Amino acid sequence: MDLSEGRLFFNEVVFVHLPSVHGWLKQHSPKPDATIDVWCGVLGQVSVSEAVSVVYRWTKGELPAPQGYELQDIALHVKAVVMQDRYNSKKHLLVKEIRDNPRVEKNPVLLAPYYARIMANGDRYKAGEISLDECKALNQAIIDEHDKAGRL
């Protein structure tokens, strides 16, 4: 959002939905307009619709709204919620992409039992019970067994 959008956002949305922010601003800021401009700068990478969504969710009680001393950092609170929303959205899309990808195994085989057997072979090699070539052959057999189980 640019400076003019930000000023409108604070004057027409934030101060209407959260009058305590406007009260804090008038009482604590020596230059309210300059403070609003600073807040607008914080929200430079946030769209108006994203910011409005945060305020609406605060108003509806869907998210805890900043209170008391948190009001001086109102723009940081808006930005933090937007960043979390973006992260959640990207995570959801990535999970959906992986789930819908036909190349991803639909019946994954757990690695832990195979890994434990490979580690045991390493311990046997270190103890001198088997040779390096035997260890490699046993481990390859375990890997082949895992690959075969994944195709079932």
User: pLDDT tens digits for 112-148?
Assistant: 788 889 999 989 999 999 999 999 999 999 988 888 8
Question: Residue 17: how many CB atoms within 10 A of its CB?
Answer: 15
- pTM value > 0.75: no
- Predicted pLDDT at 27: 95
- Predicted pLDDT at 107: 54
For the chain, the average pLDDT equals 89
Please indicate, yes or no, whether residues 39 and 80 belong to a single structural domain of this protein.
Answer: yes
82 domain residue, yes or no: yes
Please indicate, yes or no, whether residues 123 and 143 belong to a single structural domain of this protein.
Answer: yes
50 domain residue, yes or no: yes
- Of the candidates 56, 50, 43, 34, which has an alpha carbon nearest to the alpha carbon of residue 1? 43
Please indicate, yes or no, whether residues 32 and 82 belong to a single structural domain of this protein.
Answer: yes
- Predicted pLDDT at 17: 96
- Predicted pLDDT at 57: 97
Q: How far apart are CA 149 and CA 109, in angstroms?
A: 7
Please indicate, yes or no, whether residues 125 and 87 belong to a single structural domain of this protein.
Answer: no
Q: Which domain holds residue 31?
A: 3-100
Instruction: List own/partner pairs for 133-142 with CB under 8 A and 24 or more apart.
Output: 142/114, 142/117, 142/118
The tally of domains found in the chain comes to: 2
Q: How many angstroms from the chain centroid is the CA of residue 150?
A: 31
106 domain residue, yes or no: no
Please indicate, yes or no, whether residues 28 and 69 belong to a single structural domain of this protein.
Answer: yes
Please indicate, yes or no, whether residues 80 and 119 belong to a single structural domain of this protein.
Answer: no
- Predicted pLDDT at 101: 67
Q: How far apart are CA 66 and CA 64, in angstroms?
A: 7
pLDDT digit string (tens) for 15-54? Answer: 999 999 999 999 999 999 999 999 999 999 999 999 999 9
- Predicted pLDDT at 105: 56
107 domain residue, yes or no: no
Please indicate, yes or no, whether residues 10 and 59 belong to a single structural domain of this protein.
Answer: yes
Please indicate, yes or no, whether residues 70 and 8 belong to a single structural domain of this protein.
Answer: yes
Please indicate, yes or no, whether residues 10 and 81 belong to a single structural domain of this protein.
Answer: yes
Please indicate, yes or no, whether residues 9 and 65 belong to a single structural domain of this protein.
Answer: yes
